[in-house]
Structure 1
């Protein structure tokens, strides 16, 4: 891939993991724990979901889909999986639901670009969050990023890797940033209420479903106008790291934001999805890591923010 080319190829997502929920009560149990409606999750469809603390702060974020009537898979960051699985398991109690780490059995791949589209052919779901489930693999369409189509492929760990050009991990993360879909990783656990990283804007929060941990805080943020922070895309010549603080020139004495996700397409072409104070938007300059740190240039999200939050 040349410096100016957009990413195209495949990458084994070793920084992702997979939780499996099985049993007659699996969907009902997860429905009561996550921000998403899991009970009505249909075959052929995937959804985003968050898992919150009682204070409404995100402990993990998931891509969720069904493998069968009593089997649901949840893809998340590998570095938050053990703690998340342990916490979820504490609340199963008498429900007919067994949770386990299926990461060793399944390999997750990120596929992107024209090469992936050609290789997938008719197997490729056309619209975001559509799922093609086969006996030996699951393929779901992710939101495009910078015009680049993306897919998530889950297949048995022993299966051959996709016959595609290698995609650099940082290039895939750059696409993640530009999709505007935040992924909770270890440095950002309990840092964000879902709306702070736009989770409800990308379909990750269902406000009509029943209760779940932190639901009152999430609902209050939505309906009482208390939300003061949102996630924005920023570009830079220097690579950022999740959990890194961001500063604004108008108030250099304290952080004005926190990096949620970051990636780099090529040397000097880095981007980050940053949770920022809405009050700081509209003027001044943004800096990474310190008030005199590298400059961050505001970019564009692939979807509009609500006008009352703009």
Structure 2
């Protein structure tokens, strides 16, 4: 079993009598379904339907707590503050939870069962004890432990400190394998939910009412066939920070930016992995096209990439 300190996240707290009602009209997830035993992933979009930030949403007492990438809570607060003046909702960039751990690997369930009477059984399910909440963030299973009260969880924290440490790169690799891309300061308002697979991975709820950007997000999902999407691929050569993917198909070559990558390591499947937004046509295997299709790294001409399945597309 491994642990990693997820200290780079930032949290936005939405409180007040209208906290849920206010967020329901602003974000892509359905807050009518939010409760103390269910967290959810969501996105805040601009009027053009582009993602300002994604987040994980958790209910704490009567407040809504949004976990986002580093510095993104500040951006969400600035965006939402324009609308919050018309609602009984207060926004604050929060220093709670005090600690956040990522937990996974052999023995994780046995270890956690010593501290929690019941473990979350499905993705996004939440189990609580005094001073802490345990979230199952993937089916693998993989967990996040949010510590709100260090004094109330001293025994739990002491036991966690005895676990083997992993690097944040190990956790990020698992995120890549799960097909999860978190919007950061460099990519805010750059991509639509469809490009990042948010429309098929549960980040967007198409059964809820209106929210900012909803009309465009829904139109792209229901009325148009996606020409580009986020794909997980594996390279036979190491991926560098300057690498891009060369997509050769239909007699043309188009470059695609690699959003996240993780080269092989001793504890995993020895594959160089990456997430990139590719032309769907360049990834389509068929008798007529397969011979003319190829994916390679721009800076390694002897490289080749293969598309891997994502858990939410199976």
Which bin holds the TM-score, normalised by the shorter protein?
0.7 to 0.9
Aligned pairs for 1:211-250 within 5 A: 211-236=210-235, 237-239=237-239, 245-250=244-249
Residue in 2 aligned with 1:277? 279
Q: Secondary structure at the match of 1:20?
A: strand
Shift of 1:168: 1.6
CA distance in 1, matches of 2:260, 2:80: 24
CA contact (8 A) 1:188 1:260 kept: no
CA contact (8 A) 1:220 1:226 kept: no
CA distance in 2, matches of 1:189, 1:288: 25
1:113 maps onto 2:105 in alignment: yes
Residue in 1 aligned with 2:141? 149
Residue in 2 aligned with 1:3? none
1:81 maps onto 2:73 in alignment: yes
CA contact (8 A) 2:67 2:73 kept: no
CA contact (8 A) 1:262 1:272 kept: yes
CA distance in 2, matches of 1:51, 1:259: 23
Q: Secondary structure at the match of 2:108?
A: helix
Q: 2:121 aligns with which of 100, 118, 126?
A: 126
The 1:93–1:38 alpha-carbon spacing in structure 2 relative to 1, beyond 3 Å, is: same
CA distance in 1, matches of 2:302, 2:187: 21
CA contact (8 A) 2:199 2:221 kept: no
CA distance in 2, matches of 1:185, 1:157: 28
Residue in 2 aligned with 1:48? 41
CA distance in 2, matches of 1:269, 1:225: 34
Q: 2:31 aligns with which of 21, 25, 38?
A: 38
Shift of 1:104: 5.8
Report how many residues are paired: 292
Residue in 1 aligned with 2:135? 140
Unaligned runs of 5+ in 2: 285-289
Aligned pairs for 1:1-310 within 5 A: 8-68=1-61, 70-103=62-95, 105-121=97-113, 122-144=117-139, 148-156=140-148, 158=150, 160=157, 162-163=160-161, 164-236=163-235, 237-239=237-239, 245-250=244-249, 254-255=254-255, 257-266=256-265, 269-282=271-284, 283=290, 284-289=293-298, 292=301, 294-304=303-313
Runs of 4+ in 1 over 4 A off after TM superposition: 289-294
Unaligned runs of 5+ in 1: 1-7, 306-310
Q: Which shifted more, 82-91 or 27-36?
A: 82-91
CA distance in 2, matches of 1:247, 1:49: 31
Task: Please list the CA deviations of residues 222-251 of structure 1 after superposition, one character each: whole Å capped at 9, or x if unmatched.
Answer: 11124211121111342455x974321336
Q: Give the TM-score, by structure 1 length.
A: 0.85
CA distance in 1, matches of 2:18, 2:164: 41
The 1:188–1:151 alpha-carbon spacing in structure 2 relative to 1, beyond 3 Å, is: same
Q: Which shifted more, 229-238 or 27-36?
A: 229-238
CA contact (8 A) 2:52 2:76 kept: yes
The 1:206–1:229 alpha-carbon spacing in structure 2 relative to 1, beyond 3 Å, is: same
Shift of 1:156: 3.2
The 1:108–1:234 alpha-carbon spacing in structure 2 relative to 1, beyond 3 Å, is: same
